[in-house]
Amino acid sequence: MVSAPVMAGIGLALPPSTTQEELWERFFAGRYAGTTRALAERIFANSGVRRRQAAVSPLLEDVAEWPTERRMRRYLVEALPLGKEAVDRALTASGLTAGDVGLFAVCSCTGYVTPGLDILLARDMGMAPDTQRLFVGHMGCYAALPGLGAVTDFVVARRRPALLLCAELTSLHLQPSAVRVDTQQIVAHALFSDAAAAVVVVPGAGPGYAVREVTALTDTSTADHMTWDVTDLGFRMGLSPRVPQVLALHVRDLVGQLLGRHGLRLVDVDGWAVHPGGPRILTVVERELGLDPEALAESRSTLAEHGNCSSPTVLLILDRLRRAPRPPRWIVMLAFGPGLTLYAALLSRTSD
């Protein structure tokens, strides 16, 4: 029987951070007036975010009127060193070198360039010419999990190490002030943040977390609830307030079936890495799964300290869980995005 692939190293890279209060007072407050300003102030205050990172801080550069071409050029400038830092840390943690990587997968929905991060980082970091590459784009906040599924499948099939990088620069997609109230854009401006996270997955036994299964469910009847449109002024977020209601319909069955296939129940899971799309998302997951208030503490703390970083976020939460004084034995990772799509992964801690 082939053993489950193991996540042997995680590496994070975070741009400079700023408090939510400073972002509001020094930049966003000046974008709104009257009742819209009062609404925006409440949204920022109730976002669950205390600090956020930005590779391109609005306190230093206002990109709201930049054309998409300029934003994409800046994406490459900022994403390359950030991705390199995350990859280098993950490889160091795993005890491997870039030359050991058989597959290099990159997830990003905030920038497109060709040659892309997969090619340029493979070149700059010394990966072998025969390293296979995969780019996962426009999957949004849940992309880390299909990315993880792809690299673990490669590891099982080829018995070679694989590397996953999730890199997002949401700060490049600040939108111009709207004449009319645009609550969806206010919410996006209050939540999103920048980060990069990398994971090395290896075959066989070893210290780390074994990936037991990655699974998904998509409700295409709600496809218009979450969108990410390419415009002449960057990428524009569409985020319906009905998203938590859709998650409430599906999350319990998705998790219950995943655990059931491995002879587990909800009470057996002692670690939860739930993508914090916003405070309401976490509240719904907590309620529908009947979790104790402490179960999503790391997810809420990640939202507070880093904001919603899109695809890297769930890996930031996983990193916090594995560094705990008593790391969980079983972890369920959950992330959500366009589709509407729910992704879940089951991890088990291996013996040290």
Largest CA distance in the chain: 65
Residue 141 is among the residues annotated as catalytic for this protein? yes
C-alpha of 240 from chain center: 19
C-alpha dihedral sign at 188, 191, 195, 197: negative
> 29-38 long-range CB contacts below 8 Å, 24 or more apart?
31/177, 32/177, 32/186, 35/181, 36/181
C-alpha dihedral sign at 313, 255, 93, 3: negative
- How large is the C-alpha radius of gyration of the chain? 19
Element (H, E) at 321: helix 313-322
Catalytic hit among 109, 141, 166, 309: 141
SS3 299: helix
Point out the residues that are catalytic: 141
